[in-house]
């Protein structure tokens, strides 16, 4: 499973990229707004740090303007992936860009039927939002199961990029289902390292080692 960082915080991205576990980055208008910086500058800088795909989201809602914005992003770096909403105009944009060999991330997916259309439009990535489905009383992971099963049935090349991840359990369950990628905030990424028994065991080992009076160096 690949791990993308859901962030537009340059310092955060630079720090976590040093782990060598980050395979890509996703951004959205809300994260860009939080950064307080110009979107083109932020995307270009992220692309210089991360070698994998960096999703840059269009903010237009009509096909013509989406294409103009996409072409602006494409000029920034070779590893830009254009992020479009799962709407008729968004999928039309996806089709046009994918036919030109441009990577496209179709976002805001909430149903298997939407995921089918995205794959048929040539999307590189489909981003189903599990946490937001959980918020309204549904099981968001059921959507991941359905999409993975459908894509496997028809050998669709579109990768399932699980978004709106609310905790490590979403990551683990998505991996068990067979999702290709999760995109997660820095806080959740850091939580993947943690388990109380790891801390307890290490403390015990170090305590016993200290009693020996030895040093390896």
Range list of H helices, 100-167: 112-120, 130-135, 140-154
Q: Phi and psi for 182 in degrees, rounded to 5?
A: -120, 145
Q: Phi and psi for 143 in degrees, rounded to 5?
A: -65, -40
Q: What is the pLDDT of residue 31?
A: 97
pTM for this model (two decimals)? 0.96
Percent of the chain residues topping a pLDDT of 70: 100
Domains by residue range for the chain, with CATH? 2-212 (3.20.20.70)
HSE of 127, CA atoms in CB hemisphere, 13 A: 26
Q: What is the pLDDT of residue 166?
A: 96
Active-site residue, selected from the candidate residues 18, 78, 83, 176: 83
- Weakly modelled stretches of the chain, pLDDT under 70: none
Q: Are 57 and 27 in contact (CB under 8 A)?
A: yes
Q: What is the pLDDT of residue 45?
A: 98
Q: What is the pLDDT of residue 125?
A: 99
> Hunting for tokens 């809602």 — which residue is that?
61
- Taking each helix axis from N to C terminus, what angle separates 112-120 and 140-154, rounded to the nearest 10 degrees? 40
- Based on the residue annotation, tell me whether 100 is a catalytic residue of this protein: no
d(CA 215, CA 217): 5
Q: What is the pLDDT of residue 144?
A: 98
Q: What tokens appear for 4 in the block?
A: 């993308």
Q: Which residues contact 83 (CB under 8 A, 6 or more apart)?
A: 26, 27, 28, 55, 56, 57, 58, 104, 105, 106, 107, 127
Beta-sheet pairing, 104-109 with 159-162? unpaired
Q: What is the pLDDT of residue 4?
A: 98
Q: Provide Rg for the chain, Cα atoms.
A: 20
The DSSP secondary structure of 23-92, one letter per residue, reads -EEE--HHHHHHHTS-HHHHHHHHHHH-SS-EEEE----SHHHHHHHHHHHHTT-TTEEEEEESSHHHHH
Q: What is the pLDDT of residue 36?
A: 96
List pLDDT tens digits, range 122-169: 999 999 999 999 999 999 999 999 999 999 999 999 999 999 999 999
């Amino acid at each position: 499973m690949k791990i993308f960082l859901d962030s537009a915080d340059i310092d955060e991205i630079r720090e976590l990229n040093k782990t060598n576990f980050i395979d890509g980055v996703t951004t959205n208008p809300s994260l860009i707004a939080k950064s307080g910086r110009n979107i083109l500058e932020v995307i270009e800088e992220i692309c210089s740090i991360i070698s994998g795909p960096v999703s840059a989201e269009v903010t237009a809602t009509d096909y013509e303007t989406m294409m103009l914005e996409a072409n602006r992003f494409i000029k920034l770096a070779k590893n830009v992936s254009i992020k479009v909403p799962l709407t008729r105009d968004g999928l039309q944009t996806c089709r046009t860009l994918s036919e030109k060999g441009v990577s496209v991330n179709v976002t805001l997916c909430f149903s298997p039927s939407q995921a089918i259309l995205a794959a048929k439009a040539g999307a590189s990535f489909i981003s189903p939002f599990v946490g937001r489905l959980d918020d309204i009383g549904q099981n968001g992971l059921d959507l991941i199961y359905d999409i993975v099963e459908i894509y496997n049935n028809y050998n669709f090349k579109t990768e399932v990029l699980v978004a709106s991840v609310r905790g490590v359990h979403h990551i683990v369950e998505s991996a068990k289902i067979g999702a290709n990628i999760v995109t997660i905030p820095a806080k959740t990424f850091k939580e993947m390292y943690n388990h109380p028994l790891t801390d307890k065991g290490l403390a015990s080992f170090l305590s016993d080692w200290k009693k020996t009076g030895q040093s390896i160096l």
